[in-house]
Amino acid sequence: MTRESHPFEAWTAVQEELKQARAHSSRLMAWCEEGMALLPDVLPHFTEPPRAIACRDLLIQALAARDEFDRARLVIERAAESGAYRPERKQAALERVDEMEKAAGAVHACIRDHPGLSGKDAYDKASWFSDAGAVQWYIQHSRTIRRMPGSAGYTLSEPSSSGNRTVKAAVVDVETTGMSKSSDEIVEIGVMLCRVDEQTGEIVEVLEEVNNLHEPSFPIPPGVIKVHGIRDRDVAGKEMDRPRLRRLFAETDVLIAHNASFDRGFVQKYFPETGGMTWRCSVKNVAWKEYGFPTKKLLDLCQRHSITDSQNHRALDDVKLTVRLLQQQNPEGEYYMKELLPY
């Protein structure tokens, strides 16, 4: 399932995947983000916004369970901009996040003052200061409190030094005016910043997506237009968001591209600081030949993994295809992404 399929079908597939992902929190947020990205294309198919939208609602809940309430509010704002809320429903959703945040503060205060407090006692005490329903939800779902071993009591979760470490990986793709790194220019750049489990290569969270068109200093050649479909009128007056991209690259532990030698040259041309960063190539650094694949082309690999049968050569769409491919597993049952991590 990709955005190359019909948006409504793709979105429906995401909702079905979310039902299965509820028990696998490491995949939940990534699926939610994919569904959120499809909302602007999907909502016109409805006469009014659905009351329940799994990708939106589960993402808000997942963030609230991690005490990331400001990010939960941003999800509500993004959903509202896509038309996924009536005004009154948006306000109700924001108020609900406020209640969750207040409940979190009350529960944390009670447990901090009374370590080993039972869930029932925490509920009774915290409900004096915040909404009882929000308190109950928070105790059941919070990732920042935990039940003490061999006890009914709760304690505050502390970061575990032995827990799985994560790295930030930015998957990058560029569309250009041609093949020459010296004389050609970028016309579109797509980047997806992901948090990746260092031990398994599984994407834990999609942190950010960027998709920018960029007007070159000369007309796009007709032969190149036939490849990616980007015309001069599409990029007229457009410029990539360099401050945002610089900030994103500065946060990144590893840059990944399918045929990185091509993308790296162009990215480095506009962002010289990326030249000294760690790059990995999903063409060269994954053992496709050993796994029995006769070709390393992105579309061919995606077809063989039943991801998609088409490719439109747009930057962010190719990034998403690459991410979907790298989240498939090799014959040993390991994510391809693991082979690209720098540690």
Confidence of residue 197 (pLDDT cuts 50, 70, 90): confident
pLDDT in the model for residue 14:
56
**Among candidates 138, 157, 141, which has minimal Cα distance to 149?**
157
Kindly tell me the burial class for residue 329, based on how many C-beta atoms sit within 10 Å of its own C-beta (0-12, 13-18, 19 or more): middle
Contact 118, 147 (CB under 8 A): no
Render pLDDT for 281-314 as a digit per residue (tens, 0 to 9).
Answer: 999 999 999 999 999 999 999 999 988 877 778 8
Helix (H) or strand (E) holding 19: helix 7-21
Render pLDDT for 94-153 as a digit per residue (tens, 0 to 9).
Answer: 999 999 999 999 999 999 888 888 888 989 999 999 999 999 999 888 878 877 655 567
Poorest-pLDDT segment among 18-32, 187-201, 277-291: 18-32
Strand intervals (E) in the chain? 117-118, 145-147, 153-156, 166-176, 186-197, 203-213, 254-257, 279-281
CATH number of the domain located at residue range(s) 166-340 in this protein: 3.30.420.10
Confidence of residue 331 (pLDDT cuts 50, 70, 90): confident
Render pLDDT for 86-99 as a digit per residue (tens, 0 to 9).
Answer: 889 999 999 999 99
**Among candidates 56, 108, 103, which has minimal Cα distance to 84?**
56
> Which residue type is seen at 283?
V
Three-class SS state of 268: helix
Residue 189 has phi, psi (to 5 degrees) of -130, 135
Q: Which residue ranges make up each domain of the chain?
A: 7-156, 166-340
CA distance 295 to 307: 16
pLDDT in the model for residue 132:
92
Distant-in-sequence, close-in-space partners of 250: CB < 8 Å, separation ≥ 6: 273
pLDDT in the model for residue 150:
52
